[in-house]
């Protein structure tokens, strides 16, 4: 997959300030404030930066953590992970494979069938509604 690369100025033109800070500067939105934290609408969650399909609504669940949570991505190849040692802890960061947008983190405390919880910032997502 070819990576999308843009300057900070180009990303700032495309994104809101919150979207820019979360996706390009690895910020985190406050829990229970994101527009998709409570959403149950059917559809596909795509990367707000590049439109890459990331998660299906069928894999979203209420983890009670304040951020949208999913138990698996649409395709493993659409996301990448790396070790995040910020904030005096070790976590696994999740980012978009196509544009390197910071999405959130993945934890090993999710439901079956994967046992994973992809804890994702609403600001990094765009919900594409399912066609009826």
User: Burial code of 52-78, b = ≥16 C-beta within 10 A, e = fewer?
Assistant: bebbbbebbeebeeebbbbbbbbeeeb
Q: Is residue 1 part of a domain?
A: no
Question: For the chain, what is the domain count?
Answer: 1
Query: What's the CA gap between 121 and 48, in Å, rounded?
Result: 11
How buried is residue 5: exposed, middle or buried, by Cβ count under 10 Å (0-12/13-18/19+)? exposed
CATH number of the structural domain spanning residue 30: 2.170.150.20
Give me the pLDDT at residue 132, please.
58
Predicted TM-score (pTM) of the model is 0.93
Asked about 119 being catalytic, the answer comes back as yes
The residue from 47, 49, 99, 119 that is catalytic is 119
Q: Is residue 3 part of a domain?
A: no
Domain of residue 40, residue span: 8-129
pLDDT per residue of the chain (132 residues) written in tens, 0 to 9: 688 999 999 999 999 999 999 999 999 999 999 999 999 999 999 999 999 999 999 999 999 999 999 999 999 999 999 887 776 777 789 999 999 999 999 999 999 999 999 999 999 999 999 875
Q: Is residue 14 part of a domain?
A: yes
């Amino acid at each position: 997959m070819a990576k999308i690369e843009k300057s900070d100025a180009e990303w700032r033109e495309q994104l809101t300030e919150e979207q820019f800070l979360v996706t390009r500067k690895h910020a985190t939105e406050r829990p229970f404030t994101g527009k998709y934290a409570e959403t149950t609408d059917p559809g596909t969650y795509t990367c707000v930066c590049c439109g890459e399909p990331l998660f299906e609504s069928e894999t979203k669940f209420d983890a009670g953590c304040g951020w949208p949570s999913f138990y698996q991505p649409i395709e493993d190849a659409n996301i990448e992970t790396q070790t995040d040692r910020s904030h005096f802890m070790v976590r696994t960061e999740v980012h978009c494979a196509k544009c390197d947008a910071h999405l959130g983190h993945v934890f090993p405390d999710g439901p079956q069938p994967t046992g994973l919880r992809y804890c994702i910032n609403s600001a990094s997502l765009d919900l594409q509604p399912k066609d009826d």
